[in-house]
Amino acid sequence: MIMFNGFSHSVMGASHEKTNLVCQDSSAFKVGDHYAVAVVADGHGSKKHFRSHLGSKFAVEATIEAIDRFYEDREALEANLPTNHKLIIKNIEKQIISNWNMKVEKHLAENPVTDEEKSKFTPEEFEAIPPESYYGSTLVAGITGDNYTFGVQIGDGSFVAIFEDGRAVMPMEYNESAPANVTASVCNSNAASMFSSFYAPNRKLIAMYGSTDGLYTSFGSEHDFLDYHTIITSQLVNLDTFKEIIKNNLTKRSRFGTEDDISLSCIYNENLLKDRIDLINKRVAENKKAAADRKAAMLEKKV
Amino acid sequence: MSNEHVTEPEVNETQNVSPLDDFDTAETVSTAPVSDDSILDFDDDPLSATSVSKKSLVIFFLIDTSGSMKGKKMGELNTVMEELIPEIRRVGEADTEVKVAVLTFSTEVRWMYSTPIPIEDFEWARLRASGVTSMGAAFKELNHRMSRNSFLSSPSLSFAPVIFLMTDGYPSDDYKEGLRELQTNSWYKFGLKAALGIGQEANDNILAEFTGSKDTVVHAYSGGQLAQMIKIIAVTSSQIGSKSMTLSDDTNHELGEEDVFAAKQKLLGQQIQELVSTQTDGDDVPFDTGW
């Protein structure tokens, strides 16, 4: 039987410490029966999104609840995925947005906007902000089953997946016109139509990661970003001891990088990882050599 | 049987947040500021193999290496650029990763390195002068490379670049066509632009077309002035370029990015003019009288 496991962690950015903002990111993972979910969300944090730290938390909860609901009849879901994955993923996206809006409405009803929150706007400015915008957030969610993986995303953030060949890849294809690459948000009125998604059938996943953009922007190159995930994967066999190192490294990346909040969520297949650990370690060594070769090539003078 | 294991979405405990009734709290991690620096230092952290990147600033030097630069001009330029690198290195020490890209133009256009180089790794390659002044081709090449798909592909956030043009003569190609292409580039639009004319032949009007303002154009007529001007422009523009600026108007409303970049360009012009006005001519021999 496949055994999934995972971890998730969010750190507050130094820039938010300086401005007395709370951490705008949220993250979670869940291991279910023959499936697992990794989710991160990045609250927008700007003036009109003054409750976005809650919006990101609601986005994470809304996603896990939506996925759980679709997996209530897992066999039917998995029987339909190969032929109807576009429709199923679209319905999951709609369910996430619906769940999120319900959470926002409930919270707002129980916690009306305070005078202090309103005081930062003129009455006209405040009236112009749609209430759901107070809670605006991005969302990155990856789901894996026994031999397939899919992901949904709205707004910026990244996926990295490592399949059986041990190579780290970004499964969400970059598309200049995709709404996920602009400042899309779960709070947009047409949010359900602004997702980007991917579906990778017939491939066993070793590990998948979702992260908010604070992690990606702490790297000098995409190669380094991918190599980082391969290194983490090589250490997942000792997750209990390695977890602290990951947390500290995320803190270091935030503090010495772009000072943004950072969230990382991971799900992985414990059995397959143990089986392929030698391959993963080989990839780590290959990546290290390739990085040294790239640096040597970069420093070669052309004139 | 389901093996449910859910981490609580992480929230700051000082906020008034409803409990997550449906979530098993497997672990709660404090996101409080970390005060003990010692936890950030590991000898055994395998993740340290991938370095942390700060916000970056790329300084583009566009250097005329046509035949008229031969001799003292190119010799002086090579010397001052070698001296300049440690000074720019100091600009980036705190919060900014400064990178340098050098594009030379004569009959051909050529990059000194195939990608912008972090200032701590950068070594000046002494340039030689020959050929004609293909400034328009240099503008086109800069436009091509100043892109997220090329020289500015680093995931880390970037300040708008500094673009510093140095030339001693009139372009031999259609510089206007190249400039028109370059002017469509957002990095150029928001970048800090400065230019240095070397000797009598350099046309300040063309240079002002490139920078968008006469304030950011200076002229050097001698070796001593060349050294002074290059240092003034490169260091001042790097300092301003790597400065995080937020602006607010009289009503305390935040202004847009375009206003910030316009303010930076204006500040650069002011500072360059102030610094230039304090420079002395000394006993330098002009380039155009016997060097």
A4: which chain B residues are within 8 Å (Cβ-Cβ)?
3
| Residues of chain B found within 8 Å of residue A298, distances taken between Cβ atoms | 113-115, 117, 121
Please indicate if any CB of chain A lies within 8 Å of the CB of B38.
no
Phi-psi region of B282 (alpha: psi -120 to 50; beta: other; left: phi over 0): left
Cβ <8 Å between B12 and A53: yes
Average pLDDT over residues B73-91: 91
Contact list, B6 vs chain A (CB under 8 Å): 28-30, 64
* Residue A87: inside a domain: yes
Contact B53, B155 (CB under 8 A): yes
Beta bridge partners of A36: A31, A144
In the predicted structure, residue B114 carries a pLDDT above the cut 90: yes
> Which of 72-91 (B) contact A at CB < 8 A?
none
Residue B2 tokens, joined: 């389901």
Contact check, Cβ <8 Å, A222/B155: yes
Residue A156 is classified by DSSP as S
Torsion over CA: B232, B238, B239, B240 (sign): positive
Residue type for A241, please?
T
Q: Which domain holds residue A264?
A: 4-298
Q: Under a CB-based contact definition with an 8 Å cutoff, are residues A38 and A266 in contact? A: yes
Q: Which of residues 246-275 of B touch A (CB under 8 A)?
A: 254
Rounded to the nearest angstrom, the minimum Cα separation between B40 and chain A is: 6
Question: What is the distance of C-alpha B31 from the center of its chain?
Answer: 35
Considering only CA atoms, which of A227, A209, A213 is closest in space to residue A294? A227
Decide if B45 and A234 are in contact by the 8 Å CB cutoff: no
Say if B33 is an interface residue toward chain A (CB within 8 Å).
yes
Nearest C-alpha in B relative to A219: B53
Indicate yes or no: CB of B114 within 8 angstroms of CB of A302. yes
Q: How many residues does chain A have?
A: 303
Q: Could you tell me the two tokens for B229?
A: 């001007």
Percent of chain A with pLDDT over 70: 97
Q: Contact A111/B16, CB-based, under 8 Å?
A: yes
Closest chain A residue to B110 measured between Cα atoms?
A: A303
Look at B117 and A299 and tell me if their CB atoms are within 8 Å: yes
Architecture of domain B55-277: 3-Layer(aba) Sandwich (3.40)
Judging contacts by C-beta atoms under 8 Å, the chain B residues touching residue A9 are 10, 29
Say how many domains are in chain A: 1
Q: What is the pLDDT of residues A24-75, one digit of tens each?
A: 999 999 999 999 999 999 999 889 999 999 999 999 999 999 999 999 999 9
Interchain CB distance below 8 Å, B3 and A235: no
pLDDT band at B30 (very low <50, low <70, confident <90, very high): very low
Q: How many CB atoms sit inside 10 A of residue B115's CB?
A: 18
CB distance B49–A111 less than 8 Å? no
**Burial environment of residue A122 by CB neighbours within 10 A (0 to 12, 13 to 18, 19 or more):** exposed
Which residue in chain B is spatially nearest to A303 when comparing CA positions?
B112
Interface contact flag, B42 A248, Cβ < 8 Å: yes
Query: For strand A205-211 and strand B109-111, is the pairing parallel, antiparallel, or unpaired?
Result: unpaired
Q: What is the pLDDT of residues B230-250, one digit of tens each?
A: 999 999 998 898 887 655 544
Average pLDDT, stretch B99-107?
A: 97
pTM confidence score: 0.85
Instruction: Report the distance separating Cα B231 and Cα B84, nearest Å.
Output: 6
Residue predicted with more confidence, B170 or B24: B170
What is the rounded distance in angstroms from the CA atom of residue A199 to the CA atom of residue A183? Answer: 23
Cα separation of A88 and A99, whole Å? 16
DSSP state of B255: P
Number of inter-chain CB pairs under 8 A, A vs B: 180
Q: What is the CATH number of the domain that holds A59?
A: 3.60.40.10
Q: In angstroms, rounded to a whole number, what is the distance separating the alpha carbons of residues A215 and A133?
A: 24
- Report d(CA A265, CA A251) in Å as an integer: 15
Region of poorest pLDDT, from A182-191, B187-196, B202-211: A182-191
> Chain B window 127-166: which residues touch A at a Cβ cutoff of 8 Å?
127, 153-157
**CB-CB neighbours of B213 under 10 Å:** 16
For residues A281 and B134, give the distance between their C-alpha atoms in angstroms, rounded to a whole number. Answer: 50
The pLDDT of residue A14 is 79
Q: Please enumerate in sequence order all residues whose Cβ is within 8 A of that of B104, keeping only pairs 6 or more positions apart, or say none.
A: A303, B63, B64, B65, B110, B111, B112, B127
The alpha carbon of residue A2 is apart from the nearest alpha carbon of chain B, in Å, by 11
Measure the CA–CA gap between A41 and A26, rounded to whole angstroms. 5
C-beta atoms of A219 and B22 within 8 A: no
pLDDT of B12 > 90? The answer is no
In a domain, A303, yes or no: no
- Are A151 and A159 within 8 A, CB to CB? yes
Question: How many other C-beta atoms are found inside a 10 Å radius of the C-beta of residue B216?
Answer: 27
In the chain, the amino acid numbered A142 is G
Of residues B110, B73, B97, the one with CA closest to residue B197:
B73
